[in-house]
Structure 1
Amino acid sequence: MPSEMQQKFLDEKNKEKVEHFMEFNNKAEIIQKVRPPQQHPTLNVHEVSLMRKDQVILSYLYPARNIVLLKEYVKADVTAFGMDLIPCMSRVQKCDLLSSMAKISGYRAVIEASNFFSSYMIGQVTAAGSVNPAKVLSIRDGVAELAAIGAPKCLGAIVRAFDTRSAVRIQIESIGGEFLTLLPVEQIDVMKNKSVIVDLAAESEVNFNLAQLRHTILTSNGVTIIGETQISSKMAIHSLQMFFNHLYFLLDEMGKGVYLKINENKEIVYGLLAVAYGAIKWDSNRNPVSVTAAPEAKKDDKPVKIKKR
């Protein structure tokens, strides 16, 4: 526990941070954020309530499980873009934040697993005997997550991968991985002692019901399960660099940083737009703009001039 003097210093620093936060928040026309708005730890109010009318926010959103947040955006009359809603099209790759973060997460997951794995990744032959290379299985490998195959392959491990989409087979085999046609039936309780699992979807609880959010646990049979969230943040330098580069390209698409024009006929804007004009635009059944034309932009909408300060 901090001493009375230390606590007083921390309180003063927190007050200073809050004052800076409120100053910039009140002036900003566009807010760029990583996580969705949440309860502010110091002000004890929800961050959406701190936003003013007509502000624009770009962040992760996860609308399927944050419908209440979308309704709060509507009440606040702000415009919200979900960076996790990027359409899967080659034309919008420069704004594809998910692919960049997935590549970092896939690579970092291997590093985290090797830290808990008490053996060599690459096979060894010595005068004292030989050591077999580690065996790595990467499950549900989309094209963006191929770093999870390339990294252990470079470290000398035997890499196998599984995905429900056979089209991914070419990408997996092109970087030296072995494609499995069936998901192994073995469960965690029959895995070898000292095995390691990194669950990149621990937050959504879709892979392993044993994974604990933001914790690393050891099962009764000696299997380590890492349930970290936002594992890309462990490589903060490159994560932030890529994150804000993608946001820059998105703003460039919507007015070159001088005007902010929400044109729903553009694939990127139509795909990412979650809340605008006092209504929820996101729909889980919505087709991409290339399949069905996006709704016409309002003719009376004028581009918003971004003030230079």
Structure 2
Amino acid sequence: MHLFCPREPDPETRASADPESVKKMVDLGLSVTIESGAGLASDHDDLAYVDAGAGISENRDQALANADIVLRVGSPEVEEIAKLKRGALHVSFLNPFARKDLLKAFAEAGVHAVSMEMMPRTTLAQKMDAISSQANLAGYYSVILAAERLNRILPMMMTPAGTISPARVFVIGVGVAGLQAIATAKRLGARVEAFDTRPVVEEQVRSLGAKFVKIDLGETGQTDQGYAKELTPEQIEMQRKGMAKVCAQSDIVVTTAKLFGRPAPTLVTKEMVAGMKRGSILVDLAAETGGNVEGTVAGEEVETKGGVRIIGLNKLEACLPCHATQVYASNLANFIEHFWDKEAKAFQYNLEDEILKGCLMTHDGEIRDERFRD
């Protein structure tokens, strides 16, 4: 079977394969082809892929037409789906709630499409969970970026001229990205506080050396997938009032409440931003889906009249393309390996498998998930 990894369009810096994942897939018995230049932004030249056992193609259309499996980072253009052979497997981020046109095109083309966003949050699927692997890097980089923009240092410092107090960092949302942001800020010497609507994460926050901010919201909890449950309007207002006091004292605030398939909740209002100190930094990791901060502009950095900088850059993980490619390529290779029949040297579609039930969007000309059929 032939596997093809096309070059991603600008401004995407990540690739769907690195030399290590190529070796793994070649060992499975796959013939792997990489589009020329696909790995340059992540510091992998064509020769590195050749050394790993891949072929290099400069004819994208031909490689797509020959491929039994296509791996990407982002979703393809609708016009390109028709170039794939019937029965081919396409794996990438698809944003299915916003791009139902893609699912229709995949079904009409007879292509089996897997959405990496829909990968179940289970122990078995953990090594394939690209959302988590990318969120880890985004959480790390959010603090590094804020530290670079901040006009003061993060750690406490004893000097002959006096003691410099540590910067205060407030992380809102203690998922994968939030935990990594907390850990990074602590390593840099900041005083860290964190809040989440799920009381169950308090122990994780404290284990990283941070303080868990308690705001009594009444009954809250988390979904089966581990995400925070949606709050009532009354709970949201109580949450904002409690967080406003912490934001006002903070030098850096990182918001991480990015909801898949829904607009991001507004956690930090304009009034809360106005109450923050001049020179403080807000990093909004949910900028692409509307933002957690009023005043966030997706893809940009803006400064308020009060001197607060709001960073709404998209896909912070893509600012670290080498490691973002490494972990994403590993997620994809692990997915292929999990369903690979070594004797038949083919991808096996076990439609009763819990992983495929969650992430296989189209199969045999049909959209499988009823949420997207109409």
* Normalised-by-shorter TM-score class: 0.7 to 0.9
Q: Which runs of 5+ in 1 are unaligned?
A: 1-12, 40-45, 286-309
Q: Quick one: which amino acid aligns to residue 264 of structure 1?
A: L
Larger relative contact order, structure 1 or 2 (CA cutoff 8 Å, min sep 6) = 2
Q: CA deviation at 1:89?
A: 1.1
Offset from partner CA, 1:254-293 (integer Å, 9 cap, x none):
11462111112222211111111211123459xxxxxxxx
In structure 1, the partner of 2:369 is 282
Deviation at 1:159, TM superposition (A): 0.7
Q: What are the equivalent positions in structure 2 for 1:48-197 lying under 5 Å apart?
A: 48-143=81-176, 145-182=178-215, 183-185=239-241, 186=244, 187-197=272-282
Give secondary structure in 2 for the equivalent of 1:210. Answer: coil
Deviation at 1:196, TM superposition (A): 0.8
Distance verdict in 2 for CA 1:170–1:284, change over 3 Å: farther
The whole-number CA distance in structure 1 between the counterparts of 2:118 and 2:210 is: 29
User: For residue 33 of structure 1, what is the aligned residue in structure 2?
Assistant: 72
* 2:230 alignment partner in structure 1: none
Contact map agreement 1:143 1:168 (CA 8 A) in 2: no
Provide the residue aligned with 1:24 in structure 2. Answer: 63
Instruction: Report what 2:310 is aligned to.
Output: 225
Per-residue CA distance 1:228-258 (angstroms, 9 max, x = gap): 1111111111111111111111111111462
Which residue number in structure 2 is paired with residue 296 of structure 1?
A: none
**One-letter code aligned to 2:113:** A
SS at match of 1:65: coil
CA distance in 2, matches of 1:156, 1:29: 50
Identify unmatched segments of 5+ residues in structure 2. 1-35, 38-55, 216-238, 245-271
Pairs aligned (count): 265
Classify 1:236/1:105 alpha carbon distance in 2 versus 1 (closer, same or farther; 3 Å): same
Distance 1:237 1:148 in 2: 19
Q: Which amino acid aligns with 2:283?
A: V
> Do the aligned residues in 2 keep the contact of 1:143 with 1:171 (CA within 8 Å)?
no
Contact 1:218/1:225, CA 8 A, preserved across alignment = yes
In percent, how many aligned pairs have the same letter? 31
Say whether 1:203 aligns with 2:288: yes
User: Paired residue for 2:297?
Assistant: 212
CA RMSD of aligned residues (A): 2.2
Contact 2:57–2:63, Cα closer than 8 Å, also in 1: no
Q: In structure 2, what is the Cα distance between the partners aligned to 1:256 and 1:112?
A: 44
The partner residue of 1:243 within 328, 342, 366 is 328
Q: Distance in 1 between matches of 2:103 and 2:75?
A: 10
Q: Tell me the TM-score normalized by structure 2.
A: 0.67
For residue 91 of structure 1, give the secondary structure of its aligned residue in structure 2. coil
Q: Contact 2:136–2:176 (CA<8 Å) still a contact in 1?
A: no
SS in 2 for 1:54: coil
Which amino acid in structure 1 is aligned with residue 186 of structure 2? K
Question: 1 CA distance for matches of 2:84 and 2:104?
Answer: 14
The answer to whether structure 1 residue 260 and structure 2 residue 347 are counterparts is yes
Which one is further off, 179-188 or 77-86? 179-188
Once the two structures are superposed, residues 148-207 of structure 1 have per-residue CA deviations (whole angstroms, 9 ceiling, x without a partner) of 100010111011111111111111111111111224523111111111111111110141
Alignment pair present for 1:270 and 2:357: yes
**TM-aligned CA deviation for residue 38 of structure 1:** 3.0
